[in-house]
Amino acid sequence: MQHPPVAAGMPIFDAANEFEAVRQGDLEVRLARSEAEVRAAQRLRYRIFYDEMSARPTAEMLSAGRDFDDFDLVCDHLLVIDLKSGEVVGTYRLIRRSAAMRHGRFYSADEYDIAPLLSHPGEILELGRSCVAEGYSTRLAMQLLWRGIAAYVFRHEIGLMFGCASLPGTDVGAVKLPLSYLHHHHLAPPELRPRAVAERHVEMALMTKDEIDVHRALAEMPPLIKGYLRLGGFVGDGAVIDHQFNTTDVCIIVKTDLVTAKYYRHYERSARDSAEA
């Protein structure tokens, strides 16, 4: 679903959201601190989603060379920055419950009934628009983005993360193996299970559980989705075809226990090392 172009105005930058930047080599991960940095992230998103993955831009996006929508004004933009060039080379969009309330909804609500997630007590976080620039180690940049997400989750005491993750293309038959695997092996429990909205619902169980070659299904799974699964991720009921982005989407849900535990161990080691220095 296309959204109206961003109106005149500035994204919200709250210093209280910040966490200490994490560096590895020449790369740094932190939140965007200016409109210029947000626009740099939007240009990167445009290159990845529209130039490389054949998404369909609006006329305004095509003219600007940026991927944007009205959610960009209320979310936090997580960035990986090349310290040598100053360029944004990786990004993730983070939307907490308070930001969604200011906006009126979460992005995923266009594709899924997320009422079970909204009923979850405490803070929740929607993840989206993840991408890494060509020419950079996808593994390293994604590791840095996840370290940034872990710090953000830890800081804001977020108990649940979710978002729409994509398989390439809009031919469901071409991705029936990974879709079926996700449905049979990683379906969310009923109390946390979003369901694709009725008019866009696409059946995921296109193969029986016995027909699935698990090793092949995982080999065909996009790396980002596999990363969510390694954190104990679940999927909602039904897939959704996104013609604008040329993808087949699933709703991913991740309890943050593993994320915060891993970050807490890192935080404790860092604090201990500093005390001993």
- First-to-last alpha carbon distance for the chain, in angstroms, is 53
Share of the chain above pLDDT 70, in %: 90
Q: Hey, which residues does 249 pair with through a beta bridge?
A: 166, 240
Weakest mean pLDDT among 96-110, 136-150, 212-226, 250-264? 250-264
Q: Read out DSSP for 61-125?
A: HHHHT----GGGGTSEEEEEEETTT--EEEEEEEEEHHHHHHHTS-GGGGTEE-HHHHTSSSEEE
* CATH code reported for the domain at 15-276: 3.40.630.30
Segment 127-139, tens digit of pLDDT: 999 999 988 877 7
Q: Hey, which residues does 240 pair with through a beta bridge?
A: 249
3-state helix, strand, coil in the chain (%, to 5): 45, 25, 30
Q: Where are the domains of the chain?
A: 15-276
Provide the token pair at 254: 């991740």
Residue 48 has pLDDT above 60, yes or no: yes
- What pLDDT is stored for residue 8 in this prediction? 43
Residue 113 has pLDDT above 60, yes or no: yes
pTM: 0.88
- What pLDDT is stored for residue 139 in this prediction? 78
- What pLDDT is stored for residue 22 in this prediction? 86
Segment 60-93, tens digit of pLDDT: 999 999 999 999 999 999 999 999 999 999 999 9
3-state secondary structure at position 188 = coil
Distance of CA 262 to the CA centre of its chain: 19
Residue 38 has pLDDT above 90, yes or no: yes
> 238: closest CA among 225, 227, 251, 226?
251
Q: Hey, which residues does 27 pair with through a beta bridge?
A: 24, 82
Residue 19 has pLDDT above 90, yes or no: no
Segment 250-264, tens digit of pLDDT: 999 999 987 766 655
Averaged pLDDT, 105-111 = 96
Side chain identity at residue 156, one-letter code: H
Give the C-alpha separation, 264 to 127, whole Å.
Answer: 21
Averaged pLDDT, 227-242 = 95
- What pLDDT is stored for residue 262 in this prediction? 62
What is the chain's mean pLDDT, rounded?
89
Residue 3 has pLDDT above 60, yes or no: no
Share of the chain above pLDDT 90, in %: 75
Give the C-alpha separation, 3 to 58, whole Å.
Answer: 9
Which has the higher per-residue pLDDT, 116 or 14? Answer: 116
- What pLDDT is stored for residue 4 in this prediction? 41
